[in-house]
Structure formats: C-alpha cells, structure tokens
Amino acid sequence: MKSYKLSILILFAALVNSYSDNWPAWRGPTGNGISDHVNFPSNFSNTENVNWKLPLPGVGSSTPAIWGDRIIVTSAIDSKDGVTCFSKSGKKLWTQKFGSERGGKHKNGSGSNPSPVTDGKHAYLYYKSGTLAALDLDGKKVWEKNLQEEFGADTLWWDLGTSPVLTDEFVIIAVMQEYEGGKPSESKDSYLVAFSKDSGKLAWKTNRTYKVKAETGQSYTTPLVVGEKGDEMIITFGSDHLTGHSAKDGNLIWDCGGYNPTDKAMWRVIASPSISNGIVVVPYGRKGHFAAVKATGKGDITKTNRLWTKDVGADVPSPIAHDGKAYLVTDRGHIYCFDLESGEEIWNQKLPRSSASYYS
C-alpha cells in the first residue's frame, strides 16, 4: 500500500513545475482532460523526471487540484477524512481533518475518491462519508456539512466516483444511486444538489430518479459545467439518461434517453461525459457503445439530437471531446479517434499491454 500512496505524487511532481496554468479540478479547468501545454516529459520511472516524491498520510484515490503554488490532495488522515496541501517544491504547507473516514469497499478504493476542486479562493472537498467542506487556501475551514446526514445514506454498491463541480455561484454534487422502488422520492433517491460556495447554504436540490432495474441507476460520473456566467448548464449522465439542468435552480432543460433500449439490469456507468463544440460524447452499456449528442434544445431530445452511435465503448476510462474529434480508450487499451460531428472513424491504435502505463 505504501507504493500506491507514493504513486499519487510521483508522476504529478514532474508535471507541476513545467505547467504554469492552474489545474483546479478533476480533468482540468474544462472537465475534459485537455491541456494546451505540450512539453511534458515523455518518460517516467521512480527516479527519472521526478522532482520530488512524498508519502501521503493515508489512502486516497483522488487527483490533486492545483492553484498557483498550491497542490491540494485528499486522503485519510488518522482514520479521518483529510486533505493535505503541498507547495510545488514539495513542502507540506498544511493538513486538515474532518469527521471519521468511511473506508473504501473496493480493494483500490478509498473514502477519498472524489477529487478536490478550487476557484482560487476556496477548495471544496467531498468524501464517501458524505462530508462536503470548504477551506480557504491556507487550510482554514469556511464551512462543513454532511449530505448523508441531511439527505439520507447513499445506496451505491461501490465507492464514490463523482467529484464536486463549480459554477459561478455554487458547488454542485451529483448523487445518482440505487433506485429503491415505489414512488421516486427526492429524499431517498438520486438527486443533484447545489450549495453556496461562500456560505454552504442550500441553494437548490432537484430529484433525478428514473425507474430502472438493479444497479442501473448507479452512476460514478462527474457532471460537466458549460455556458457563460449567469447562464450555466449542468450536464450529467446516469440511469440511462444524459440530462442538462439549469445551474440557477437545477430545473431540467433537456433529457436524452435511449441508452438501455432493452432495459437491462447492472448497467451502472463509470465513465464521465465530455463536451466540445456543443456535442457531448458518452460511453455506455458496460463498454459496448459510444454515442454523441448535441447538447441543445428543450424537453425530450432522444430522437432529435443523437448524432451517432458506435458499437465500441469503455466501462471505466472517460472519453475526450476536443477540436472536432472524439477520443475513446477502451478498458483493454485500444484507442479510437472519431470525427465529433459525423462519427466517422479517423484512426485507431492498440496500445502496448501493461499493468501500469500512462500515455499522452
């Protein structure tokens, strides 16, 4: 386990000193995993192209958030939900702890799977325990709450996968979990919830429950935030539906279904959607399919806005939409590039087999 904890910072340490811009959240500033920087080191080992490495105080599976000279990463600390801040030179600046950790169920999971997100003023942290907290960048607590205490325990079969996202006003969490049957209930079933970034006060909470079979309602994806200040939209995927919601009040703008036409059980989703040029791409069907949807319109856009579907997909890896192309890496390491609008395959390549490799 020690080497696992170290590996969180080994690759990252070589990256941060060569990249001057902020990387404030999981998959970067746009949520697409895109960097305009092109001069990253091409080879890594335990010693090659490593500026420094430090152990974390406990297990954590999140990715760090960077703002200025600060690198913020979550992990367990003394069996508590914790966060550590390092400088880009590797100096530990501060740590902070919250309530008791709710440990990982999966062998590679943890109670700190969600990645932190920052707007440069505050860092926002979310944990499997339900704790959601805001700190300033010097580690001082601004506010803290627990979603499970307020809204009920989650019914996910596995550890959290979703990370918090920010709009101009709010920090937003997607809780998409097991549908318990009967009449959908906002207090017990899936929902999106928004809190004031400054105060933690509840801004809105909207039900996002669909009647689906066992496990299919569970989603480990992270939402996308798109649009300009004052007119932002939240796009999220789960329960066989891709949906767009107003960031102001959580109201549903559009809904694209049809991702499980035979109503199968166990079709939970892990890979997050990606967007470019107003087109969202999303893998679904437990690695069997890949689709593109035009993220416009109102109401049910299932039949009008689906641009294309491919019978290739990914269960865990999230795709990338960028510059007119859609990139997909399958769970077995086969990468595909499609034209974003037409779905025409541009190229594909099988990556060398390896249990621990990174490609760019």
What are 263-302's pLDDT values in tens digits? 888 788 888 999 999 999 999 887 789 999 999 999 999 9
Confidence band of 154 (pLDDT split at 50, 70, 90): confident
Model confidence, pTM: 0.90
What are 190-248's pLDDT values in tens digits? 899 999 999 999 999 999 888 877 777 788 899 999 998 888 999 999 888 999 999 99
CATH placement of domain 1-147: 2.40.10.480
What are 71-115's pLDDT values in tens digits? 999 999 999 999 999 999 999 999 999 988 777 777 777 888 899
Confidence band of 183 (pLDDT split at 50, 70, 90): low
The yes-or-no verdict on residue 7 having pLDDT over 50 is no
Q: Domain 220-360: which topology?
A: Methylamine Dehydrogenase; Chain H (2.130.10)
Domain boundaries, the chain: 1-147, 220-360
Q: Which residues pair with 347 in a beta bridge?
A: 337
